[in-house]
Amino acid sequence: MTDRAIKSIAIVGGGTAGWMAASLLAQTLRGTGCAITLIESPDIGIVGVGEATIPPILDFLKLIEVDLDAFLQATQATFKLGIKFQDWSRVGESYWHPFGSFGVSIDRRPFHHVWHKARTEGLDMAVPDFSLAAALGEAGRFAPPDPRAGGPLAGLRHALHFDAALVAKFLRDHAERRGVRRLEREVARAVLRDDGFIDALTLTDGEQVKADFYIDCSGLRGLLIEQALETGYEDWTRWLPCDRAIAAPTAHAGPPAPYTLAVAQDAGWRWKIPLRHRVGNGYVYASQAIDDETALSELLAAIGEPLAEPRKLRFTTGRRKAFWNRNCVALGLASGFLEPLESTSIHLVCSGLYKLLDHFPDRDFAPSNIAAYNRALVAEYETFRDFIVLHYCATARDDTPFWRDRAEASIPDSLAERMELYRACGRIDTRPGELFTDLSWFYVLEGMGLRPRAHDPLVDASDFRQVRAILPRLAQQVATVVAQSPTHQAALGAGRSVAA
Ligand SMILES: Cc1cc2nc3c(=O)[nH]c(=O)nc-3n(C[C@H](O)[C@H](O)[C@H](O)COP(=O)(O)OP(=O)(O)OC[C@H]3O[C@@H](n4cnc5c(N)ncnc54)[C@H](O)[C@@H]3O)c2cc1C
């Protein structure tokens, strides 16, 4: 450690983001003498609706050395094999964005290129025939990934659904056991130095908390990054106009499905997330297109009697102009908002933390280091934005003003370029390090009904009589694993983690 080392960190906010940050930093900085304090208000609640995740959450939990079985039990977690989208391209049609592998590469060509040629030859193929995750999901079953098994089990991946309030509580206990100091108090304001850096936090009782480095996990208000440092916000409402949500839990009407259901509605979409003890539901909608009362009626008509009073939430889609400003990094809702269609927000907390470790500062706070962090996260946010916009802009729906507007609205140039490449030749331009692989893009492009004008010419080098013979064998392998797998309910009842 140099004498310029960070010796104290103050985290404001005790939601999912705050406690994830506290857990990882406590783990990473143990033995350095760096003191970590988390301040959470007893009166300002957490948003409490982040319930669906993507597979890297399991890596995060492993990294912070959480006992996964205990976590699954304590957070009422279920397994998630992907997302099923209903009524997005056309009313009555649905498609899958499953996790894990899809078919096999044939003569080194990824399977989705083979798929395009097979489709032009009239072969009747569905994603769940070749994606074990989608097939298990459709059957309400679950199997653990098995890298040694060969076949589709080797490429299976999954994530979790969990109760966000219980996650914050679990991680709080975890982080406190690792030495994080928790103050249940409210921050009134940040005191700035002459150079604009944060000097201290003044609590509402007048006490001050001083640290070298501050992490803003205060939620949408962005207490430090925005209210104190006035970093600015880039508004993406023109591309993603949904700005409100109503969340309401219901009781299970059947066994819990091992996937998130995202159903397009008149002016947005509805999520259905099965947990062990209840089902999480919510309607994400555009206030320009529907009023709150009508949205609530539409939600209740779809989900039935809620177990608790429906909660209304407001947000502006976009991101902070900088995620790291002077001696403050914003994580979670304080850093920006993307609607939870692809469960990216909690992942962005993980990703922001990993990048923070890659760019961990000393007390000189080198501007070039801060700029590198911001560049990396801006790129990630923008790719996630484009991926979410794709779910809307490719719609063929014209049954409500909201959907007609989505089909006609302008889209980011970066997305237009990806879509044009796909339309031309079925290729997908992903960049190194991007979370969503070409396969993820394929599922949504295909599911939304986009068809390439031509397939990859190298697929023509394969003997297609052989390919036609391989396809039913692949589908049979998937069907066999599904038939041998337990129901999702039984897998949960086993009480043990089946995560690899
Ligand atoms: C409708 C909706 C659905 C979502 N669904 C998903 C999903 O399925 N998957 C996903 O990955 N993400 C989802 N998200 C996002 C996800 O909920 C958040 O990214 C995640 O919960 C992190 O929230 P947070 O910790 O940043 O903020 P919050 O949960 O809002 O926590 C803020 C914390 O700051 C504290 N605080 C605020 N002001 C002060 C103050 N002055 N002094 C002291 N403490 C203060 C509060 O007490 C609280 O502890 C969803 C978000 C919304 C709005």
Burial class of residue 189 in the structure, from the number of CB atoms within 10 Å of its CB (0-12 exposed, 13-18 middle, 19+ buried): middle
Q: Which residues pair with 109 in a beta bridge?
A: 106
Q: Which CATH number fits domain 8-51+163-232+321-383: 3.10.20.520, 3.30.720.210, 3.50.50.60, 1.10.287.110?
A: 3.50.50.60
Q: What percent of the chain has pLDDT over 70?
A: 98
Q: Are 394 and 448 in contact (CB under 8 A)?
A: yes
One pLDDT digit (tens) per residue for the chain, 500 residues: 568 999 999 999 999 999 999 999 999 999 999 999 999 999 998 988 879 999 999 999 999 999 999 999 999 999 999 999 999 999 999 999 999 999 999 999 999 999 999 999 999 889 999 999 999 999 999 999 998 888 899 999 999 999 999 999 999 999 999 999 999 999 999 999 999 999 999 999 999 999 999 999 999 999 999 999 999 999 999 999 999 999 999 999 999 999 999 999 999 999 999 999 999 999 999 999 999 999 999 999 999 999 999 999 999 999 999 999 999 999 999 999 999 999 999 999 999 999 999 999 999 999 999 999 999 999 999 999 999 999 999 999 999 999 999 999 999 999 999 999 999 999 999 988 899 999 999 999 999 999 999 999 999 999 999 999 999 999 999 999 999 999 999 999 864 444 43
**Cβ 100 under 6 angstroms from ligand 1:** no
39 Cα: distance to centroid of ligand 1 (angstroms): 14
**Cβ 50 under 6 angstroms from ligand 1:** yes
Contacts of 206 (CB under 8 A, 6+ apart): none
Burial class of residue 369 in the structure, from the number of CB atoms within 10 Å of its CB (0-12 exposed, 13-18 middle, 19+ buried): middle
Closest CA relative to residue 209, chosen from 81, 35, 426, 26: 35
Per DSSP, the three-state class of 400 is coil
Q: How far is CA 330 from CA 45, 180, 215, 320, in A?
A: 18, 19, 6, 9
Q: How far is CA 417 from CA 164, 241, 390, in A?
A: 36, 22, 12
**Cβ 310 under 6 angstroms from ligand 1:** no
Between CA 269 and CA 52 the distance in angstroms is: 15
479 Cα: distance to centroid of ligand 1 (angstroms): 40
Neighbours of 368 (CB within 10 A): 8
**Cβ 275 under 6 angstroms from ligand 1:** no
Between CA 155 and CA 145 the distance in angstroms is: 7
**Cβ 21 under 6 angstroms from ligand 1:** no
> Which of these is catalytic: 80, 117, 272, 355?
80
pLDDT of the residue at 498: 40
Contacts of 21 (CB under 8 A, 6+ apart): 11, 215, 217, 331, 349, 353
Closest CA relative to residue 137, chosen from 494, 490, 482: 482
Q: Are 258 and 78 in contact (CB under 8 A)?
A: yes
b/e code 136-159 from CB counts within 10 Å (16+ = b):
bbbbbbbbbbeeeeebbbebbbbb
What are the counts of helices (DSSP H) followed by strands (DSSP E) for the chain? 15, 21
**Per DSSP, which regions of 130-243 are E strands?**
159-161, 181-183, 187-192, 198-203, 208-210, 213-216, 233-235
Q: Are 415 and 386 in contact (CB under 8 A)?
A: yes
Active site residue 7: no
Between CA 201 and CA 184 the distance in angstroms is: 14
Q: Where in the chain is the domain with CATH 3.50.50.60?
A: 8-51+163-232+321-383
**Cβ 40 under 6 angstroms from ligand 1:** yes
Inter-residue long-range contacts of 145-153, CB under 8 Å, 24+ positions, other chains counted: 145/100, 145/499, 145/500, 146/500, 147/500, 151/477, 151/481, 152/100, 152/101, 152/477, 152/478, 152/481, 153/481
Closest CA relative to residue 417, chosen from 443, 377, 382: 382
pLDDT of the residue at 65: 97
362 Cα: distance to centroid of ligand 1 (angstroms): 28
Per DSSP, the three-state class of 499 is coil
Q: How far is CA 257 from CA 79, 273, 275, 290, in A?
A: 9, 8, 9, 29
465 Cα: distance to centroid of ligand 1 (angstroms): 54
Atom of ligand 1 nearest to the CA of 273: 8
